[in-house]
């Protein structure tokens, strides 16, 4: 091991009230540390009720100054909570903050073990491990890198738009990338929004226009992010701007091309498959930007080489069949992912008959029916396009709260189901049944909305629908859709015949969320939503510095929450931009060029491409700016030529010895 070091170590054992002291004999641990680890360098060992409090921290600061302490061990809660606190305390007293180690005796001892004697002995071993380790710590300096003030926002839904506007209004530039031809996201498809029943388009479009015309926002629609390299403050992003086959500089948005195009295509995206669009189209009237897009797969010219009606009629000559995809490279300092959600595919719940029984509709399909700008002009009609339903069943929790599909609650479906009830009632006067398990109407105005719907005379059945069928039993059910459900409040099975069934389908992560996450270097939870840094205290940050998440990409939520998260993410980004430089943890790997043999075994191990081979010198080299400090190359080098700060071999070996009580004064068996 390394040569004898003469460090002066202070050990501080926290009671944490009774959280630790209730199980671990903290006085015993402190005394033990002073006695048994004295020969290693422990000069003082104290115990105190709340080490993280001001007096607690002052204890440390005082001891550093008066006792000349060179290393600190705080045996308390998880380092994820207070490592920074104690590092700052050390810094204030003039000690390098990286010479502090936290030993977790709460989350990993007092909270998880019941036998007090055993827990105390384990706490001692944990402290011994930390003392041995901290002696091997080296003083480190934080690394500062400048921040590029530009920001990339991926996803032009309500969360992305909010984030982009906040940053742009603060005076910084934003690249807003959206994969569809227009920004607006799912919200642009909705009719009315709960609980206020505002028209979605009315409240959304002003924002869309603002984003589309803002001098600080570069809108890149019909575009995808292809590659991301770099690190916080210095990302380089490659964006593929797909060919619209329209010259944006010449297009006035007059719409003649769409009008004249003879090719009709079913609109699977915006109209949820209920309506048509043309081969050259803008997705909806208020699209931002208002340039159409040509659907290459369905355009007669691209298929057969004929037609070109759009080109003939375009008054400004803006059609360009030869247009190519453009690859755009941008440098940004921070990235916000607001990529939204996919709707749960209701065909998977085969007993509800969606896709098989014509008059079973999904929530998005219903939004399009109800929307006055939709394919039926706002008339709620059956699949035949004509018949108004006299009775409608709305089923909640489709694909959600279901171990067979998605275990989680999709948050918005109850409110959505109630909204549908109201709209159906309002448009058609039909009898409406809502089939629910629980009514989740938690936020501002939500429960009041529920009460209103109750008072409107809609009918509620508490029970998970077993089946939607057209197999009629008797005259009453002929030609209807029959909902088979256990009415748990009435305590009996019911068969309820309706004309139309609306499935309040759940939300799920985008089908490519994992790939997108990988591209940006963030991970997804087991359900597939992007993982936030901390579920309560840091919902918009991720484990990767500089990458933020907002909106449904982080998990199902309603519009106010999406907006709030978009704003929160932008605040985090602005905070970084205004600091001008970002501070990186000095956990990096370095190659000792004298020891390196140029075997190149490390070269293939770095996902950040931080390791380069210098052929002239026959050695490998690590770029500290790209190195993320994972330590894989440190562990892999066969010559032991790569060392890592923060989690060095010496530190870990020492901790192993300490945890196994190898260096205790008294003889260990």
Scan residues 104-123 and list those touching other proteins (CB under 8 A).
104, 106-109, 111-115, 118-119, 122
Pick one of 311, 447, 603, 621: the residue that binds other proteins (CB under 8 A). 603
Contact letters for other proteins, residues 628-647 (x by CB under 8 A): xxxxx-xxxxxxxx--x-xx
Site for other proteins in 58-77 (CB under 8 A): none
- Min CB(145)–other proteins separation in Å: 19
**Cα–Cα distance for residue pair 609/615, rounded to 1 Å:** 16
Which DSSP string corresponds to 15-26?
-TTTTTTTTS-H
- Min CB(586)–other proteins separation in Å: 12
Site for other proteins in 233-252 (CB under 8 A): none
- Min CB(404)–other proteins separation in Å: 21
Pick one of 144, 264, 312, 595: the residue that binds other proteins (CB under 8 A). 595
**Cα–Cα distance for residue pair 120/115, rounded to 1 Å:** 9
Asked whether position 137 contacts other proteins by CB under 8 A, the answer is no
Site for other proteins in 181-200 (CB under 8 A): none
**Cα–Cα distance for residue pair 396/374, rounded to 1 Å:** 24
Contact present, 237 and 220 (Cβ < 8 Å): no
H or E segment to which residue 482 belongs: strand 481-487
**Cα–Cα distance for residue pair 131/653, rounded to 1 Å:** 12
Structure tokens belonging to residue 266: 């079913």
- Min CB(128)–other proteins separation in Å: 10
Helix residue ranges per DSSP H, 185-313: 200-213, 256-260, 300-304, 309-313
Asked whether position 604 contacts other proteins by CB under 8 A, the answer is yes
Contact letters for other proteins, residues 323-362 (x by CB under 8 A): ----------------------------------------
- Min CB(633)–other proteins separation in Å: 9
Asked whether position 402 contacts other proteins by CB under 8 A, the answer is no
Beta carbons within 8 Å of 265's beta carbon, 6+ residues apart:
276, 277, 278, 279, 281, 295, 298
H or E segment to which residue 69 belongs: none
Helix residue ranges per DSSP H, 281-432: 300-304, 309-313, 363-370, 413-428
Asked whether position 539 contacts other proteins by CB under 8 A, the answer is no
Minimum CB distance to other proteins smaller for 76 or for 468: 76
Pick one of 135, 661, 666, 667: the residue that binds other proteins (CB under 8 A). 661
Asked whether position 80 contacts other proteins by CB under 8 A, the answer is yes
Beta carbons within 8 Å of 128's beta carbon, 6+ residues apart:
33, 36, 37, 658, 659, 661, 663, 664
**Cα–Cα distance for residue pair 255/180, rounded to 1 Å:** 18
- Min CB(523)–other proteins separation in Å: 5
Residue 293 CB coordination number (10 Å): 21
**Cα–Cα distance for residue pair 427/412, rounded to 1 Å:** 22
- Min CB(541)–other proteins separation in Å: 13
Asked whether position 597 contacts other proteins by CB under 8 A, the answer is yes
| Distance in angstroms between the alpha carbons of the first and the last residue of the chain | 21
Structure tokens belonging to residue 458: 């809609």
- Dihedral angle sign, alpha carbons of residues 292, 368, 178, 203: positive
Asked whether position 662 contacts other proteins by CB under 8 A, the answer is yes
- Min CB(141)–other proteins separation in Å: 18
Site for other proteins in 495-534 (CB under 8 A): 514, 518, 521, 523-526, 531
- Min CB(87)–other proteins separation in Å: 15
**Cα–Cα distance for residue pair 458/422, rounded to 1 Å:** 8
Pick one of 170, 199, 357, 599: the residue that binds other proteins (CB under 8 A). 599
Minimum CB distance to other proteins smaller for 392 or for 596: 596
Minimum CB distance to other proteins smaller for 383 or for 514: 514
Structure tokens belonging to residue 487: 């009415």
Structure tokens belonging to residue 453: 């719907």
- Min CB(90)–other proteins separation in Å: 19
Length of the chain: 669
Minimum CB distance to other proteins smaller for 248 or for 617: 617
- Dihedral angle sign, alpha carbons of residues 255, 256, 257, 261: positive
Number of residues located near other proteins, criterion CB under 8 A: 71
- Min CB(107)–other proteins separation in Å: 3
Minimum CB distance to other proteins smaller for 107 or for 402: 107
Pick one of 199, 357, 612, 660: the residue that binds other proteins (CB under 8 A). 660
Asked whether position 596 contacts other proteins by CB under 8 A, the answer is yes
Choose among 161, 186, 187: nearest CA to 176.
161
Pick one of 193, 544, 561, 570: the residue that binds other proteins (CB under 8 A). 544
Asked whether position 385 contacts other proteins by CB under 8 A, the answer is no
Minimum CB distance to other proteins smaller for 320 or for 649: 649
């Amino acid at each position: 091991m390394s040569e004898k070091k003469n460090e002066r170590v202070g050990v501080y054992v926290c009671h944490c009230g009774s959280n630790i002291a209730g199980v671990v004999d903290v006085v015993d641990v402190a005394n033990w540390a002073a006695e048994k680890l004295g020969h290693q360098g422990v000069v003082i060992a104290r115990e105190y009720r709340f080490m993280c409090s001001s007096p607690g921290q002052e204890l440390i600061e005082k001891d550093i100054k008066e006792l000349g302490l060179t290393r600190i061990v705080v045996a308390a809660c998880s380092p994820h909570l207070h490592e920074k606190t104690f590092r700052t305390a050390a810094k204030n007293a003039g000690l390098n903050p990286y010479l502090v180690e936290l030993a977790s005796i709460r989350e990993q001892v007092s909270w998880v073990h019941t036998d007090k004697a055993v827990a105390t002995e384990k706490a001692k071993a944990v402290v011994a491990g930390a003392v041995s380790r901290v002696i091997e710590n080296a003083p480190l300096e934080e690394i500062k890198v400048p921040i590029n003030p530009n920001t990339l926002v991926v996803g032009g839904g309500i969360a992305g738009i909010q984030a982009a506007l906040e940053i742009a209004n603060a005076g910084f530039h934003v690249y807003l990338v959206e994969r569809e031809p227009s920004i607006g996201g799912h919200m642009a498809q909705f009719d009315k929004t709960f609980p206020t029943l505002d028209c979605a388009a009315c409240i959304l479009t002003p924002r869309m226009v603002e984003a589309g015309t803002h001098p600080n926002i570069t809108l890149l629609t019909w575009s995808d992010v292809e590659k991301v390299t770099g690190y916080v403050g210095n990302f380089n992003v490659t964006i593929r701007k797909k060919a619209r086959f329209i010259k944006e500089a010449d297009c006035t948005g007059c719409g003649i091309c769409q009008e004249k195009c003879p090719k009709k295509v079913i609109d699977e995206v915006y109209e949820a498959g209920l309506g048509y669009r043309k081969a050259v189209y803008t997705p909806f009237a208020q699209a931002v930007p208002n340039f159409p897009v040509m659907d290459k797969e369905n355009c007669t010219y691209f298929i057969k080489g004929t037609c070109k009606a759009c080109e003939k009629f375009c008054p400004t000559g803006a059609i360009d069949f030869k247009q190519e995809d453009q690859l755009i490279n941008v440098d940004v300092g921070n990235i916000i992912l607001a990529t939204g959600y996919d709707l749960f595919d209701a065909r998977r719940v085969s007993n509800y008959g969606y896709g098989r029984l014509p008059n079973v509709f999904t929530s998005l399909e219903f939004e399009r029916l109800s929307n006055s700008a939709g394919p039926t002009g706002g008339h709620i009609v059956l699949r035949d396009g004509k018949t108004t339903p006299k009775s409608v069943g709305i089923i909640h929790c489709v694909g959600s709260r279901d171990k067979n599909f998605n275990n989680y609650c999709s948050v918005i479906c109850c409110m959505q189901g109630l909204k549908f009830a109201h709209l159906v009632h309002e448009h058609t006067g039909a009898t409406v049944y809502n089939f629910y398990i629980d009514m989740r109407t938690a936020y501002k105005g939500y429960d009041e909305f529920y009460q209103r719907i109750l008072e409107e005379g809609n009918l509620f059945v508490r029970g998970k629908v077993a089946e939607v069928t057209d197999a009629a039993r008797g005259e009453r059910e002929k030609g209807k859709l029959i909902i088979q459900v256990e009415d748990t409040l009435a305590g009996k099975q019911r068969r309820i015949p309706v004309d139309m069934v609306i499935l309040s389908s759940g939300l799920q992560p985008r089908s490519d969320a994992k790939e997108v996450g990988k591209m940006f270097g963030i991970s997804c939870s087991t359900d597939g939503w992007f993982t936030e840094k901390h579920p309560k205290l840091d919902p918009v940050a991720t484990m990767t510095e500089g990458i933020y998440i907002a909106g449904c990409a982080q998990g199902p939520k309603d519009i106010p929450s999406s907006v709030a998260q978009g704003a929160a993410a932008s605040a985090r980004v602005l905070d970084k931009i205004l600091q001008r430089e970002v501070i990186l943890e000095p956990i990096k790997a370095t190659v000792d060029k004298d020891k390196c043999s140029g075997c190149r075994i490390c070269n293939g191990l770095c996902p950040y491409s931080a390791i380069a081979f210098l052929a002239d010198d026959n050695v490998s080299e690590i770029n500290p700016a790209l190195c993320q400090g994972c330590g894989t190359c440190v562990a892999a080098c066969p010559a032991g030529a790569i060392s890592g700060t923060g989690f060095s071999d010496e530190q870990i070996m020492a901790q192993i010895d300490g945890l196994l009580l190898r260096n205790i004064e008294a003889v260990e068996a």
